[in-house]
Amino acid sequence: MSITRVNPDKVVGINTKGAQALEDYLLQPSVQAKISQFRINGSPLQLFWAEATNN
């Protein structure tokens, strides 16, 4: 899973505070754990890999 914030110098009308808040939220260890543990309908297959510590 990855996110990319848009450069506000290149795109008009970007919500930079909201983008930073989302990034800060997704980087929280508890949220990273939830991302890694997410499954659909009890499937054992992992859908997303939270890799914030490796980037």
Q: What value does the CA radius of gyration of the chain take, rounded to a whole number of Å? A: 14
Q: Tens digits of per-residue pLDDT, 10-53?
A: 999 999 999 999 999 998 999 988 888 888 988 898 888 777 76
In the block, tokens 């991302």 appear at 35
DSSP-H helix ranges across the chain = 16-26, 29-37
Joined together, the tokens standing for residue 15 give 């919500």
pLDDT greater than 60 at residue 55: no
Position 48, amino acid: F
pLDDT at 17: 94
DSSP single-letter state for residue 44 = S
